Amino acid sequence: MDTGAAARAEGAGSRTTPRAGSRHGLDLLHVRVTDWFTEAARDLPWREQDCSAWGILVSEIMLQQTPVVRVLPVWREWLERWPTPSHLAAEPPGAAVRHWGRLGYPRRALRLHAAAVAITEEHGGEVPATHDDLLTLPGVGAYTAAAVAAFAFGRRETVVDTNIRRVHARLFTGTALPAPALTAAEMKRAASLLPDDAGLSVRWNAAVMELGAVICTARNPVCGHCPVADACAWVEAGRPAPEYVPKGQSWAGTDRQVRGAIVAVLRESDGAVPRVLLLEAPADLRMDPAAAVTARPGALGALHGLRAPAEQLDRALAGLLADGLAEEHDGGIRLPG
């Protein structure tokens, strides 16, 4: 592994003992970052000492590709409504999708519901504590399994998310961004950086993640407030620009946009929405998106305002039905009951 940052940390912290890549340098890195975390960590409800493993699991799923500020109110509502996995498991999956609100990627709500059912039926209602058991739950991948095992159960896990990848890339490799996809070498490096002590490793994981979220951000990083800027290979190299341009996600005119608009209509509706009402806007409204939004209340107007081709509407709905995000009921379409 590249232990340059550990060496640099040591060189900056105790210039009289310049042992490159030493255990001492790594220890110093741990101390600096975790001390910063103690001082700067945001107060988040899922970090409270009395937060349940279920609360932490829910937070991790909600936080997949979704900013903290948008998760907060929905997380609070969920934990109040469904304080344990069994509470959620007792509801139809559509309830999870409905109360997911506008967090995005509603299939996560479906998977979280499925996870609650699995926890209730196969784990006695208790969130499993090991990485392997967590990994069997729907919607739980390598990152989430490690995060829950670490943050809910105090285990020593190699946690690697987008924040940690970016911090490591800058600190050790000197590049602005990590590789497009997670590599085995990154996982190996992250594992080698993990403190031996379980308690400290949990702290380290949380601290590096937080550093990436609030200091070592993708755009406009605040290196002036970074506890390890003087050990950072990227800073030392003069903060070079990214070597590649991340592939942007197209949105306008995509099936994803149409799927989102359809689910928004279903979420807004108590019962089944007639297929015709959902998919066929009156001809005059189809010609004028603004008129459609005005004439139809809420999400339905927004859907018709897209003026998506009938073929695309059919395809999007078929996809939602196949994914279990919608179902046919009484001649209409509704969230899965």
Partner DNA sequence: GATCCGTGGAC
Partner DNA sequence: TGTCCAAGGAT
For helices 4-13 and 23-40, angle between their N-to-C axes, nearest 10 degrees: 80
State yes or no: residue 103 binds DNA (CB under 7 A).
yes
Contact 150, 159 (CB under 8 A): yes
The residue from 60, 157, 186, 210 that is catalytic is 60
* Total number of residues that touch DNA (CB under 7 A): 59
DSSP states along 201-226: HHHHHHHHHHHHHHTS-SSS--GGG-
Which member of 19, 76, 102, 188 binds DNA (CB under 7 A)? 102
Contact 258, 316 (CB under 8 A): yes
| Active site (annotated) includes residue 122 | no
State yes or no: residue 106 binds DNA (CB under 7 A).
yes
DSSP SS3 for 328:
strand
State yes or no: residue 155 binds DNA (CB under 7 A).
no
Contact 163, 209 (CB under 8 A): yes
- Considering only residues 1-60, where is the footprint of DNA by CB under 7 A? 44, 46-47, 59-60
For helices 142-153 and 53-62, angle between their N-to-C axes, nearest 10 degrees: 150
Q: What are the CB-based long-range contacts (under 8 Å, 24+) for 188-193?
A: 188/1, 189/1, 189/2, 190/158, 190/159, 190/160, 190/164, 191/158, 192/1, 193/1, 193/26, 193/29, 193/168
State yes or no: residue 124 binds DNA (CB under 7 A).
no
Shortest distance (Å) from residue 230 CB to DNA:
23
State yes or no: residue 249 binds DNA (CB under 7 A).
yes
- Considering only residues 261-290, where is the footprint of DNA by CB under 7 A? 261, 263-264
Shortest distance (Å) from residue 130 CB to DNA:
15
State yes or no: residue 152 binds DNA (CB under 7 A).
no
Which member of 12, 40, 68, 129 binds DNA (CB under 7 A)? 68
Give the CB-side neighbour count of residue 204, counting CA atoms within 13 A.
25
* Per-residue x/- track, 166-205, DNA (CB under 7 A): x-------------xx------------------------
The backbone torsions φ and ψ at residue 329, rounded to the nearest 5 degrees and listed phi first, read -155, 120
Cα angle at 216 between 25 and 175, to 5 degrees?
A: 75
Q: Segment contacting DNA (CB under 7 A): 23-31, 32-40, 195-203, 251-259?
A: 251-259
Contact residues for DNA (CB under 7 A)? 44, 46-47, 59-60, 63-68, 70, 102-107, 111, 138-145, 147, 161-163, 166, 180-181, 209-210, 212-213, 217-220, 245-249, 251, 254-257, 259-261, 263-264, 319, 325
Active site residues: 60
